[in-house]
Structure 1
């Protein structure tokens, strides 16, 4: 979401610590421990067995730095970091079939699309002829036309429906892949920042082999629909104006795009009538175009989600199973594991450590010195050292580099994503940072080094990151937002040679592909999935595509015990491209339905009149209660703290599966939920495809937790399809 993408990552980094290891980490390597088939016993816990083995051979109870991955679904085994002697002991253990090095084979993807199940080549069902007719409009800050991700090798001419132009300015050329470009900022359509190039290639970039970020994430970079076309609309310089955004929508709709991705937003939601993205997206919806927008980067605070219109697919950001960690090794051998994307090699050399508090100038306040505030550090105390800074929200790493620091260690209380920095950097948890400060204070000559970043298997994925904006929807209280979550952390995609990967002026590196994190990265993943679905169902409406994505999502782990890990973080769940092709049933809503929703929400009559082109009049008969919009999720806010309640939701589903099908309803309560949910009718029968059936969901309960939403899932199943909708009830005290 603009410059806040990098900044959000800076204030929301992954923290992991290791109190110490028996052996030098340099002597360890990853080994695969194969243990054959899974035992049939229900009491057998693979993860516990794997951890016990590692604990036994290492003699340590804390082995989070050792266990890389557990195999526990189809066969039995694990990957662990072991010394040679430890490997020999494991190999002799009962139940161990073999132990062999974790060899580096040639990778075939840079992980996010594979993580979602959208594999390369024949492993994924494709409709290439139609996919080549799909046009994704990217409203962003420009694009790099020379990128190999946008080469038109093998492409035919643009689709006949294309009505756009290539108006990119000087030294800008379109082709049969990048078929159109426009700009509204006076500098052309070229991306002088890499954001727009990154989002476009994530959604629809070509497959480009052997790509990495200085060796990290090596593999094939590709978009979700590599055969589709791209049209770029540059609406931003450092910031993006409402006028330019609406211009981008105006042109994109008229040009004939099929999907719009816009990774732009504000700090919080605006009224629909004041929101240029909501307005532009409404008109796109009316023309059959789905708009995909990131949820925002203002999390984990509640009520911060900014893409809140029902005609927009609002996307949260979550992790994939690949993560980046950067270790800090102290002079005494203790290792702390932090987060960053550090490509600099200090070659193991230990440098003196200094805390910003001790390196502040005489005119600087202590708190500002702790945070390495601007103009606060004494160069003579910093030069040639690794500086520790308690990170403020406006931390500028250039300031530390300017004063001659060799590297930086930051503190962040969050555990999400890795930052690209212009010098060696690692971000630690508060506990690890405090222990490092204690080490400095208690050691005569404290030294450390920062290692190059390593790739690790992220066992907790997918997990919504803390910077991703959370609901509730403050504009429409009974509409659950965000809708879905998708990969948005440490995404490798195309970039620009006009800027450094850290966006620092002191960073002289230039790369064609870089790593970024933010809901700006999750949005184009969802846009790619939407285009993928549309390539099989070209006549499906935006709401049908949106519904197919939401009702087939992976259930997330949760809801959790805190507000930030509930449905207000991830909506219907994690996006599943393959399942979205076969939803079975969809919830449809059109322009008239959304106007009735706005009418029920109390939107001004004048706004509705002009929004509809004079074709809608808000009356009692035309009004729809917001919670009864035919939406794939169901949500209601209860007024006050009533001890008992009853709310109902009216919905209609359309059969897009098979004729002569029967769907039975099943309600699954989430952990601790006290809801009572009844569905009437509880069985839906369809004789034909495109047939519609209506039903009512009645939810009742009492004495709900005032601080957490109560939730359940309604699942319609015909034995093949499982059409899942979240149901969320919350009160005034839930955020």
Structure 2
């Protein structure tokens, strides 16, 4: 830890050295040779030393068929390791010249039409080319394929050498994210799809996608479908899981055809807060020099006159008093504003240092701060705050970890988004793997750096994804004909345990997937789980998506992945998997999930190299609590190999229809369910509630809003948006009004004309936002009808019952009850629900 003595992530991952992964691939000069990585991001700073290449010639170099060259038409061409040809485009313009494409940077394309159409002209600081003015793209690109031995200097301090994961791979830049003159920043879906399609047509090998937009809402949005096309073309896609953790079900990119990457700690950038009484607390820090003992104060104790206490606690701009903060180390809480903005405020007020404290569980991040800073967790922060309240409190900031207690790694980052993914109903386990994503030191755009530096530390799953991107490039160096899913399987089944703060193994698959990538084992996985386009179509059909292909549906849990997930187990479930041997031998299979009897059949596989065999895994609930996830693993052990897959199972109280429809003013209808327990199952019929309708319209790209109250006692809410024109495409976002802010709580954004959100909501005020993603041809706006339903626990229109109550049930067997209703107005839509025992998932009942 510390500055120049810190190891690189390549060292941490076991890539370097005489026994490292690179040595088996011809050294650093062969690690990724003949492989093209596409980075879809904010572009690249082409003069960066981490991507320096030779000028392009008119033909491959003598004796090296993989040397990129420029054709007579100006395209960049390269013979790849798999025998195919990459044909790239080097777009020139403001900020990018033809000479910026080299033997290292083999493509430069910019996609902004969709962004500017929705956000207006680009910012003056933005380059309308592949040049990176933000820094994010240069960071991800150099993390994946940056050259070795490039020294990183930041603000005059030397932080040692840096390297990418696959330093010999070529980089193709696809700039898709922009800043507008209006202040808006982002990436338009149409630009993303265009760039993905271009990367496929260019014939890249790997795509890095460090871009996200919150928790996944479906796997058939335009971007995920574009990645389906890419994967079917044999392209490995590494996508960031998102930075909305540690809350559950916050993960983006839930599609099984790509590799979703969570973030974890690796190379530690640490500093120590030494209190005046001698106690030491280690945290994240990028300090290169120590800060001597200085007065220690809480930010609220040095608040500016008239400043809100809450603003001072967060060290918001203008909240500190220079007369009281000068010469002091200031303790600030995380949250509200950017971490680096807090140290800027401390510097403005004359503070000499900062202790940044997490008020709740979150990651520790070593940032490039304006004053020496150490970032502490909640427990350490509480101790430091208590000391700061004492009269005459002092502290010093020391470089590195001087506590004498090493910090365990790799730990899942607090910010890393978690599963389970509701979009898959829990039947696909995400994330897939974890990789370094905390305080990663890599290249940066000097245009975005406050000190004009070419390097910066950064944290996020955006930083984790390019590590896996680089590992995939290494894989295609060794195995150029492997499929993307075979590579993903190898990365997953050879992953090692994450750890907790105490160093004990942490095998939570919803935080870390199969575990932390272990490149030293990945090239010899022993067995791999593979799948392809046919299986993905079957998965989509089984997920309720009509692909129009005529492919037969399959249970999503049956998709042949290196993980097992069942989001709706009632009693017993048997799943089939197949494995292909990369190493011949005898493999013994065992599996364990607490509260379940798990059987593997056959439990012995005699495998020849290249041979594929099927086996079954039967999961039977014994004592596992209902309505709670249970996790474990399946392991195949060979002579010198261990092939491990995570398992996650959700034992349901009952498997019941998601929705039933009633017709007529009165009647009776049977409903059949399958029980996850034996005994008696309580039935609770709620509603029926009449819908409240309104109309509206929204111009293309604009959002129209309607305010809706969810009263107390509401057990289920639904919001239906039906377009007036079937050729329009509307999107729906539901916001909750909290503290004067509109906070998104649910989204429905399919390619269809209509949208629906059904949810159990807290009582309060909500706003339904309807956006016209695309109007019908020849129109600039779209009209719609909005109907909202608020189902009460008791009372409602007419009479509505479920009998018998309770319902006699047996584990894993079907049982039938009757719904009866009367007194409805058949001309009006109604909504109700039937709840089952302790289950939180009801059967929705619609009528009229």
1:18-417 equivalence runs, <5 A: 110-120=7-17, 123=20, 124-126=23-25, 131-153=32-54, 156-158=67-69, 159-160=78-79, 161-172=85-96, 173-185=100-112, 187-211=128-152, 213=154, 218-237=159-178, 238-274=185-221, 276=223, 278-320=224-266, 322-331=267-276, 333-343=278-288, 346=291, 348=292, 350=294, 352-395=295-338, 396-397=341-342, 398-412=344-358, 413=360, 414=362, 416-417=364-365
Distance 1:560 1:710 in 2: 22
Mapped contact 2:38–2:199 kept (Cα < 8 A): yes
SS of corresponding position for 1:248? helix
Distance 2:293 2:336 in 1: 30
Deviation at 1:180, TM superposition (A): 0.7
Distance 1:378 1:371 in 2: 14
1:263-662 equivalence runs, <5 A: 263-274=210-221, 276=223, 278-320=224-266, 322-331=267-276, 333-343=278-288, 346=291, 348=292, 350=294, 352-395=295-338, 396-397=341-342, 398-412=344-358, 413=360, 414=362, 416-443=364-391, 445-452=392-399, 458-476=406-424, 477-500=426-449, 507=450, 509-557=451-499, 566-603=508-545, 605=546, 608-609=547-548, 616-617=549-550, 622-638=552-568, 645-658=571-584, 661-662=585-586
Distance 2:411 2:143 in 1: 20
Deviation at 1:120, TM superposition (A): 4.1
**Residues 276-305 of structure 1, C-alpha deviation per residue, up to 9 Å, x if partnerless?**
2x2221110111101001111111111111
Distance 2:310 2:394 in 1: 23
SS of corresponding position for 1:114? helix
Distance 1:559 1:677 in 2: 30
Mapped contact 1:198–1:493 kept (Cα < 8 A): yes
Distance 1:559 1:406 in 2: 30
Change (3 A) 1:598 1:138: same
Change (3 A) 1:511 1:663: same
Deviation at 1:274, TM superposition (A): 2.5
Distance 2:641 2:388 in 1: 59
Deviation at 1:713, TM superposition (A): 2.1
Deviation at 1:490, TM superposition (A): 1.9
Distance 1:434 1:417 in 2: 18
Structure ID, larger Rg: 2
Mapped contact 1:302–1:564 kept (Cα < 8 A): no
Mapped contact 1:559–1:566 kept (Cα < 8 A): no
Deviation at 1:566, TM superposition (A): 1.0
**Residues 257-288 of structure 1, C-alpha deviation per residue, up to 9 Å, x if partnerless?**
10001111122112122362x22211101111
The answer as to 2:633 corresponding to 1:713 is yes
Deviation at 1:242, TM superposition (A): 1.5
Tell me, which stretches of 5 or more residues in structure 2 are unaligned?
55-60, 70-77, 80-84, 113-121, 123-127, 179-184, 653-837, 841-848
Deviation at 1:229, TM superposition (A): 0.6
Mapped contact 2:314–2:337 kept (Cα < 8 A): no
Deviation at 1:663, TM superposition (A): 2.7
Distance 1:169 1:121 in 2: 44
Change (3 A) 1:690 1:189: same
Change (3 A) 1:332 1:697: closer
Tell me, which stretches of 5 or more residues in structure 1 are unaligned?
1-67, 69-101, 501-506, 610-615
The answer to which structure has the higher strand fraction is 2
**Residues 1-46 of structure 1, C-alpha deviation per residue, up to 9 Å, x if partnerless?**
xxxxxxxxxxxxxxxxxxxxxxxxxxxxxxxxxxxxxxxxxxxxxx
Deviation at 1:235, TM superposition (A): 0.9
Change (3 A) 1:143 1:308: same
Change (3 A) 1:363 1:734: farther
Q: Which has the larger displacement, 541-550 or 162-171? A: 162-171
**Residues 455-510 of structure 1, C-alpha deviation per residue, up to 9 Å, x if partnerless?**
9995511111111111111211111000011111222222222122xxxxxx4x23
Q: Which has the higher contact order (CA 8 A, sep 6+)?
A: 1
Distance 2:582 2:290 in 1: 55
Distance 1:599 1:440 in 2: 60
* Equivalent position of 1:723 in the other structure: 643
SS of corresponding position for 1:292? strand
**Residues 65-102 of structure 1, C-alpha deviation per residue, up to 9 Å, x if partnerless?**
xxx9xxxxxxxxxxxxxxxxxxxxxxxxxxxxxxxxx9
Mapped contact 1:488–1:521 kept (Cα < 8 A): yes
SS of corresponding position for 2:213? coil
Distance 1:457 1:492 in 2: 24
Aligned length, in residue pairs? 598
Q: TM-score, normalised by structure 1?
A: 0.75
Mapped contact 2:364–2:377 kept (Cα < 8 A): no
RMSD, aligned CA: 3.2
SS of corresponding position for 2:197? helix
Distance 1:393 1:564 in 2: 30
SS of corresponding position for 1:273? coil
* Equivalent position of 1:37 in the other structure: none
SS of corresponding position for 2:88? coil
Mapped contact 2:496–2:517 kept (Cα < 8 A): yes
**Residues 323-382 of structure 1, C-alpha deviation per residue, up to 9 Å, x if partnerless?**
222233445555443322224654x252x4442323334544433332333443344433
Deviation at 1:207, TM superposition (A): 0.8
Change (3 A) 1:435 1:225: closer
Mapped contact 1:208–1:221 kept (Cα < 8 A): yes
Mapped contact 1:464–1:565 kept (Cα < 8 A): no
Q: Which has the larger displacement, 223-232 or 560-569? A: 560-569
Distance 1:590 1:222 in 2: 33
